[in-house]
Amino acid sequence: MTIPGVGPITALAIQAFAPPMESFRRGRDFSTWLGLVPRQHTTGGKPRLGGISKMGQKDLRRLLFTGAMAVVRQASRSREIADPWLDGMLARKPKKLVAAALANRTARTVWAVATRKEDYRVRTAA
């Protein structure tokens, strides 16, 4: 619950609905299981990424996207954005696209925190 965008309901839902985090080799695999990675169309060795696939665990994906949208909304309202990645994305991309990317990033962070059995550490600006 210390991860931005993950509240008590999302944390409990991940614990209840997701398989053990050790069953995924890396955070991208967990994010893929949720359906939060871009769909790939590859031809001639040139990958083209589309929108998120939406093939996966619908309930958890919706909760993570809602939490990410809340973080994006708060970050766009306040002048102080703690995460430089989020600040850069909001300057270049639409809010819903940033929320989808943040939900993907949050899912990977959840996997990392759960597998390492550590607390979430806030990234600081360099």
Q: Tell me the three state secondary structure of residue 46.
A: strand
pLDDT at 83: 80
pLDDT at 53: 65
Q: Tens of pLDDT along 16-32? A: 988 888 899 998 889 88
The neighbour count for residue 40, using CB atoms within 10 Å, is: 10
Q: Is the pLDDT of residue 82 over 80?
A: no
All residues at 6 or more sequence positions from 35 whose CB lies less than 8 Å from its CB, including other chains: 52, 53, 54, 55, 56, 57, 58, 61
pLDDT at 68: 93
pLDDT at 92: 92
Q: What percent of the chain has pLDDT over 90?
A: 22
pLDDT at 126: 52
- Ramachandran assignment for 51, one of left (phi > 0), alpha (psi -120 to 50 degrees), beta (any other): beta
Q: Is the pLDDT of residue 40 over 80?
A: no
In this prediction, residues 85-111 reach a mean pLDDT of 90
Q: Is the pLDDT of residue 8 over 70?
A: yes
